[in-house]
Structure 1
Amino acid sequence: MKILHTSDWHIGRNLYGRKRYDEFASFLTWLVRTISLNEIEVLLVAGDVFDTGTPSNKAQRLYYQFLKEVSSTCCRHIIIIGGNHDSPTLLEAPRELLRFFDVHVIGSTQENIEDEVIVLKNNTGEDELIVCAVPYLRDRDIRTSNAGEDLDDKNRNLLNGIADHYKQVADIAEAIQQQSRSSSLPIVATGHLFAAGGTKVEGDGVRDLYVGSLVYVNSSSFPTCFDYLALGHLHSSQLVGKNPVHRYSGSPLPMSFSEAKKSKCILQVDIEHGQTSVTEIQVPCFQELKSIRGDLKYILEEIDTLITTETPVWLEVIYDGEEIIANLQATLADAISGSLIEILRILNNRLMRSVMQQNTPDHTLETMTQETVFEKCLELHNIAESQQPELLHLFRETIQAIEDEDLRAE
């Protein structure tokens, strides 16, 4: 049995305002080709198909086009679970239609928990795999509120609820396994959660799943009957509790510049005669990201080097020099003019330190509004008071335009 485990596609996600649809399309095209080349029989998508619960029409077209193309390959079954970014209603809306094409979608906890245990059959109609398709477990789905419970009680009840949910699906799967003609019928499970000991990268967009509490699921919460556990939510590929068959595949695309140097992968899982082996398949880089940090001389030298490669690069620039450079953005724009480099983010640490040093003790970056920071920058650069109202008005219009962007108008 050849299984492919992937998760956290986040179709529709932007990077500092830059649309990434070309990257998502390239990844999905590559994924279809990889499924065919490796003769994959089952595809597991462990949540966060989309980046938001209201994905654009373009994001949805990419998703359904992918499902259409996979249906014509050797892949017999697709299992998709909802993640914390997904809308369960949107994912499950075409569920009955997709099931006709052997695409099984579990967007949220099912009213009948038996519906989360899916028995897949081979071409001759015989059972070949049991999948405990557990989606992202929301607080309201697994925990009841009790009067007088404190934070520790809440955390303990959440963890117990998650463990109990996995025990229930495992018991159902084992009962099916015992009734099957094949005593070696494998069981795999999915999940979208934060496992204890898991790591994330600063700026990668991974957030705690339960507001007001830090609930990290211990590896002992998962039943031992699972031949493989396919997890989503963390964006770096990693093991859970050093267990080689409890794995996060990670996101296929870097979610931030902090992940620019990290290799991305999907996981091929081979189960044969009760033995499970896992092979990492490296995902190609579809858009190069680069972060440059230093003084102006170093930054310009690095940009010159990148230009000579004649490769399209999205760039983050972090200025850490001691000199205050008021026209940093214009200087960098001149440096990349006519090249294949796009600067998506400029962080002027020296300027920010200067702004903060001029604040009174009552003002910190956490307490200052966006307008206050902008006004401090105007003061720092000695902008004439007569010009400040118009600039502040333009700033407000820009912020409003960003907030009012129609995410469905693609």
Structure 2
Amino acid sequence: MKILHTADWHVGKVLKGRQRVEEHKAVLGELVETARHEDVDMVLVAGDLFDTSAPTPEAQSLVMQTLLALREQGERDVVVLAGNHDNAHLFDVYRPVLGELGIHVVGTFRRPDKGGTLAIRARSGEDVRLAVLPFLSQRYVVRAAEALGGTAAEHNRMYAARFAQLTAALTQGFADGTVNLVTSHGTMPGGAFGGGEREAHSIFSYYFEPTAFPTSTQYAALGHLHRRQQIPGPCPIWYSGSPIAVDFGEENNTPGALLVDVGPNRPAKVSEVAVARAVPLKTVRGTLERLSALPDDGAWLRVFVEERPRAGLAELVRGMLPNALDVQLDERFRPVSATRAKGASPGAARSPRELFRDYLSATGKADGAVTSLFDRLYDEETS
């Protein structure tokens, strides 16, 4: 059978104040086209469909339309689990409605017989056993009473041990004649971070070990780390990565998904699928002259300006580079904090005009137009 493994859509993400709804529509549309072109039998969406736990109606609408399109009117199975950015209880609200449409949704941990382990007959004819572990907080896995005692390292080990226990319970039904799959959302040791993962949920307190997955697993589909990668372990363990770079820390990632070819009693064969419609993110730096000569390749830009600070500099850059979302001074040109002369009392023998000019000079922001404006405003207020 063929599986499309994707995760970390982060629909609703705002980048430096810029809405990205149209980008997400294009990217998710490309995933739907990939599922059709490759004629996959199943789609696994391993968490973080939304960027926040309170998604806007527009974000929810786009995700629902995408899931229905992936379902293709019953042509393929679609399985969705909640990530750390998602609202797990909201997913449980979706669950009965989407379940009627054949879309399997798991928001919170469920017992094997209550939806934690899915028994599916694939369109291609194989019997599938799929263990689904949504993001599990440490508070959930390590009970509060137990967390009151012990060290942080002990709590970390306890989280990993409890995760392994839960996985073992969900994978008990794995057999030789079935396609045995696990999907989850979280952090594994040795995984390379993409840049946009939520730091508080990427620390050792939330790590689980590859050994949590039994050797009978043909494929483990993970979400949370935004860089597509394989993790060494007792079975094929992969992060699909995000189909869209969520911040400038991910500009070197290749957005995409994974195609998985798997059958009973054999490890999965995995191939990478790039997503071409994601708008790239790029960091550029230089003087105004150099920046003005840059070609417009459509990328969102983070700009480091190699100029002394002055009023209106950021506006000048954005005028030259309309896609500049973040404009900063290169660290070599950043002003130092103004310091008071040793032994001088605050404002001693200096007028407000002099104080203002001294401040601009000390911080590297001296500008004749700004001082003239200050003088005019000061005169208006004191006359």
TM-score, normalised to structure 1's length? 0.77
Aligned counterpart, 1:137: 136
Deviation at 1:278, TM superposition (A): 0.5
Please list, as runs of the form range in 1=range in 2, the aligned pairs for 1:99-118 lying within 5 A after superposition: 99-110=99-110, 114-118=114-118
Task: Name the structure 2 match of 1:69.
Answer: 69
Give the 4+ runs in structure 1 shifted more than 6 A: 376-379
CA deviation profile, 1:237-284 (whole Å, cap 9, x unmatched): 011126771000000001122323432221111113522201111111
1:286 alignment partner AA: A
1:333 to 1:117, Cα distance in 2 relative to 1, 3 A: closer
Partner of 1:150: 151
The alpha carbon displacement at 1:332 in A equals 1.5
Find the residue that maps to 2:17 and give its secondary structure. Answer: coil
Cα deviation per residue 1:179-222 (whole Å; 9 max; x = unaligned)?
xxxx42111001111100011144x24423177x5443222222
Question: Match for residue 47 of structure 2?
Answer: 47
Find out whether 1:227 has 2:218 as its counterpart: yes
Instruction: Supply the distance in 2 between the matched residues of 1:384 and 1:38 (Cα, whole angstroms).
Output: 64
Partner of residue 168, structure 1: 169
For residues 361 and 88 of structure 2, what CA distance do their matches in structure 1 show? 46
Distance 1:206 1:250 in 2: 14
Partner of 1:399: none
2-structure distance, mates of 1:56, 1:75: 29
Offset from partner CA, 1:39-67 (integer Å, 9 cap, x none): 11110000001000100010011011112
Deviation at 1:350, TM superposition (A): 4.3
1:343 is aligned to 324
Distance change in 2, residues 1:230/1:344 (3 Å):
same
2:240 paired with 1:241: no
* Counterpart residue number, 1:281: 273
Are 2:335 and 1:354 equivalent residues in the alignment? Answer: yes
**Equivalent pair of 2:30/2:277 in contact (CA under 8 Å):** no
Name the larger-Rg structure.
Answer: 2
Structure 1 SS opposite 2:130: strand
In the alignment, the residues of structure 1 paired with residue 374 and residue 65 of structure 2 have an alpha-carbon distance, to the nearest angstrom, of 51
Contact 1:35-1:73 at 8 Å conserved across structures:
no
Q: Which letter does structure 2 place at the counterpart of 1:347?
A: Q
1:161 to partner: Cα distance: 1.0
**Structure 2 alignment gaps of length 5 or more:** 342-358, 378-383
Q: Is the 8 A contact 2:336 2:362 kept in 1?
A: no
| Secondary structure in 1 matching 2:335 | helix
User: Contact conserved, 1:254 with 1:264, CA < 8 A, in 2?
Assistant: yes
- For the aligned residue pairs, the C-alpha RMSD in angstroms reads 2.9
Please name the residue that 1:192 is paired with. 185
In the alignment, is the contact (CA less than 8 A) between 2:88 and 2:108 conserved in 1? yes
Change (3 A) 1:286 1:265: closer
Q: Could you say if the C-alpha distance between residues 358 and 42 of structure 1 is closer, same or farther in structure 2, counting changes exceeding 3 Å?
A: farther
- Aligned pairs for 1:1-40 (under 5 A) are 1-40=1-40
Note the C-alpha offset of 1:97.
2.0
Question: Residue 127 of structure 2 aligns to which amino acid in structure 1?
Answer: E
Q: Distance in 2 between matches of 1:253 and 1:244?
A: 27
Q: How far apart are 1:224 and its partner, in Å?
A: 1.5
Q: Could you tell me how far apart the structure 1 residues matched to 2:361 and 2:208 are? A: 48
Helix, strand or coil: the match of 2:28?
helix
Q: Give the letter for the 2:291 counterpart.
A: I
Q: Secondary structure at the match of 1:165?
A: helix
Structure 1 gap ranges (5+): 178-182, 361-375, 391-410
Q: What is the one-letter code of the residue matched to 2:335? A: S
